[in-house]
Amino acid sequence: MTQSVLAATLKRTILNLQKTADLYAVGPGAEDHATGLRVLYVTGAGFAWRIIETQERTTESGVKRLCRMHCFKTLEKTRACLVERVAFRKAETSMIARYQARVAGESDPRDEVDEARERLRDQLCKTQPDRTCVVARVA
């Protein structure tokens, strides 16, 4: 394959992965945490496939921001991670809707939701990155 054909194939692959990643930023969990995923490919890197995860959460003490870079050796592992995260977001949306219906008019114990969210993530997000770096953390 020529360089231009390879570049075009890589571009299409990244765009398709990004379409999947964009599904992650939908739902009540995304609104509560202002999350997003971006897909990158770094030519020549040992872990060339990257997912950049951003989170922004408003707490009583202010806005907390976090940016993580998840690095993968293979396209397959990157794709699997994205698909799992989208499945997690769909399940999380459903879980939050059930929770909100149950506690309507009551006090809002957020710890219960956060714990359930973590358990759900552990169940559905099995593909782990080969490396993860915290890129930025602002409290």
Q: Give the confidence band of 25 by pLDDT, cuts at 50, 70, 90.
A: confident
pLDDT reading at 139 higher than 60? no
Predicted model pTM: 0.80
Q: What is the pLDDT of residue 108?
A: 61
- CA-nearest of 75, 81, 110 to 96 is 110
* Dist CA 78 CA 73 (whole Å): 8
User: Which tens digits make up the pLDDT trace of 52-99?
Assistant: 998 877 677 777 788 999 999 999 999 999 999 999 988 988 888 888
What mean pLDDT do residues 23-51 have? 81
What mean pLDDT do residues 123-129 have? 94
**Residue 95 is encoded by which pair of tokens?**
């879980």
Bridging pattern class, strands 36-41 and 62-72? unpaired
CB 24, CB 34: distance < 8 Å: no
Q: Give the confidence band of 42 by pLDDT, cuts at 50, 70, 90.
A: very high
Q: Give the confidence band of 48 by pLDDT, cuts at 50, 70, 90.
A: very high
Q: Give the confidence band of 31 by pLDDT, cuts at 50, 70, 90.
A: low
**Tokens 């490919």, residue?**
41
More confident site: 40 or 95: 40
Domain ranges of the chain: 3-138
Query: Mean pLDDT lowest for which of 31-35, 36-40, 45-49, 66-70?
Result: 31-35
